[in-house]
Structure 1
Amino acid sequence: MRRLTGVIVSDKMKKTRVVEVTHMKKHPKYLRYYKVSQRFKAHDEN
């Protein structure tokens, strides 16, 4: 299993947290880096 590091952006659901993972991606034509972020839902018993 792959382990990702992110920031919790929402904890309004009972046992679920929304985590945003950001990484840098290189543009194929302009060769500059830009941020790409994804949001994942994670289970949390506490």
Structure 2
Amino acid sequence: MSASDNIERTLTGRVVSNKMDKSVTVKIERLVKHPVYGKYIRRSQGQEG
């Protein structure tokens, strides 16, 4: 495994909820092209941390 295989990817998102002291839910959105129509669609993923 070379050094270029271990590159970390930084994700940016928006804080959706901050209910407790140490927990936060972040919504990460990405644009995906529709396979048939070609229109870009927003796909979202929730991360807790």
Shorter-normalised TM-score: what interval?
0.7 to 0.9
TM-score (norm 1): 0.80
Number of residue pairs the alignment of both structures matches = 42
RMSD: 1.0
TM-score (norm 2): 0.76
Greater share of residues in strand: 1
Instruction: Decide which structure has the larger Cα Rg and report it.
Output: 2
Gaps of 5+ in 2: 1-7
Name which structure has the greater RCO, CA cutoff 8 Å, separation 6+.
1
Moved over 2 A (4+): none
